[in-house]
């Protein structure tokens, strides 16, 4: 049964991801209302509250979570705070949409999942690339065998670094607060996207970083070699050293190749071995809705399982942790089951 009242949303943290994505996303979504925000920057919070007509500002996120006037929260704070805030939110009976990575350790992610099940609350991870129309269309093309079974892939996510996105977010470069560098930050997106696109999980990862990373700072560039269940292989590049934003996937199958480009240019290019020329598949009409925020609201109001539950955020973190182990040991690391 769908609840008649609007879902009351609190946003914790008002950095760029909240300002550019979460707040406008909820404003456009049906069945919810922005009710409260938390920020350590009072003047900034006041401007946001006025812009969106948000009635309540909190200087303490724990007080926001304790409020009976809040039904669900978006957690948009530095990585190391995701787990403690989410756990407290769930214990207070709130539904949670948490930014990626959902935590900075597999252990904490498991605690979050267990708490959500115990409290019977929605725990969803903000892996927003799954909601991109081009990604969703590519997934359908791969699933129906347009290029056959994918045996290899190459992908990359690179840009000039977090300072371009959020100049004030110095925590990105502090390994204690970020949990790592590009492997943690960009890898969370890419490993989840591969899981969604291929419906397959890696069984080994060999991750490498260039040179010596400064003490206390995360890696600025990471290269990974991945092997998947069934024998498919692929490469992944994660970098804060590019001059522009690039987000690309190449998939190779016996029938042809599929190129997915989430940066500038053509979003999807299909080349089939028996059909000459390049094909530009149209984006599926149903791939444009719902938004990640509408989906989160709908899951709560209608009692549905989210497309990106905590278990999927956990899978991405398991690969990331194995990647860091690979970097430390200088060799490939096995993960998951090959059964």
pLDDT of residue 232: 96
Q: What is the pLDDT of residue 339?
A: 37
Residue 211 pLDDT: 77
C-alpha closest to that of 162 among 141, 133, 190, 182: 182
Two structure tokens written together for 22: 């979460």
Phi-psi region of 93 (alpha: psi -120 to 50; beta: other; left: phi over 0): left
The class of domain 7-128+290-308 in CATH terms is alpha beta
Dist. CA 105–CA 98, nearest whole Å: 14
The structure's pTM equals: 0.95
Task: Name which of 88, 87, 65, 86 is nearest 75 in CA terms.
Answer: 86
Q: pLDDT means per 10 residues in the chain (339 residues)? A: 77 96 98 97 96 97 98 98 98 98 98 98 98 97 98 97 80 92 97 97 95 76 96 97 95 98 91 94 94 98 96 98 96 75
Pairing of strands 221-228, 202-208: antiparallel
> pLDDT at position 3, please?
58
233-239 and 221-228 strand pairing:
antiparallel
- State the span(s) of the chain assigned CATH 3.30.360.10: 130-287+318-334
Measured CA distances, 287 to 99, 131, 165, 290, 314 (Å): 22, 8, 26, 8, 25
For CATH 3.40.50.720, list the domain ranges present in the chain.
7-128+290-308
The per-residue pLDDT for 165 is 73
CATH 3.30.360.10 fits 130-287+318-334, yes or no: yes
Q: What's residue 338's pLDDT?
A: 41
Residue 127 pLDDT:
98
């Amino acid at each position: 049964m769908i609840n008649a009242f609007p879902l009351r949303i609190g946003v914790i943290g008002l950095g760029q991801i909240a300002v550019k994505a979460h707040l406008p996303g909820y404003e456009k979504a049906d069945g919810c209302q922005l009710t409260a925000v938390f920020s350590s920057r009072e003047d900034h919070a006041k401007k946001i509250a006025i812009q969106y007509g948000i009635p309540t500002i909190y200087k303490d996120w724990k007080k926001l979570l304790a409020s009976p006037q809040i039904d669900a929260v978006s957690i948009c704070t530095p990585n190391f705070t995701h787990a403690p805030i989410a756990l407290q939110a769930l214990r207070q009976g709130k539904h949670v949409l948490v930014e990626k990575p959902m935590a900075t350790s597999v252990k904490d992610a498991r605690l979050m999942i267990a708490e959500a099940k115990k409290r019977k609350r929605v725990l969803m991870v903000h892996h927003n690339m799954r909601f991109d129309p081009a990604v969703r269309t590519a997934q359908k093309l791969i699933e129906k065998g347009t290029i056959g079974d994918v045996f290899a892939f190459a992908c990359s996510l690179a840009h000039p670094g977090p300072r371009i996105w959020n100049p004030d977010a110095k925590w990105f470069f502090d390994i204690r607060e970020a949990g790592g560098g590009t492997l943690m930050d960009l890898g969370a997106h890419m490993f989840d996207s591969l899981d969604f696109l291929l419906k397959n999980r890696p069984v080994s990862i060999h991750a490498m970083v260039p040179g010596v990373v400064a003490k206390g700072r995360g890696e600025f560039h990471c290269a990974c070699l991945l092997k998947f269940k069934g024998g498919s292989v692929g490469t992944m590049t994660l970098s804060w050293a590019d001059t522009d934003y690039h987000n690309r996937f190449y998939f190779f199958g016996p029938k042809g190749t599929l190129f997915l480009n989430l940066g500038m240019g053509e979003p999807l290019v299909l080349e089939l071995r028996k059909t000459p020329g390049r094909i530009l598949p149209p984006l599926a009409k149903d791939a444009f809705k719902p938004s990640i925020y509408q989906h989160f609201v709908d899951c709560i109001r209608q009692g549905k399982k989210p497309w990106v539950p905590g278990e999927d955020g956990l899978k991405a973190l398991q690969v990331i942790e194995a990647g860091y182990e690979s970097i430390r040991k200088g060799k490939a690391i096995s993960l998951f089951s090959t059964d």
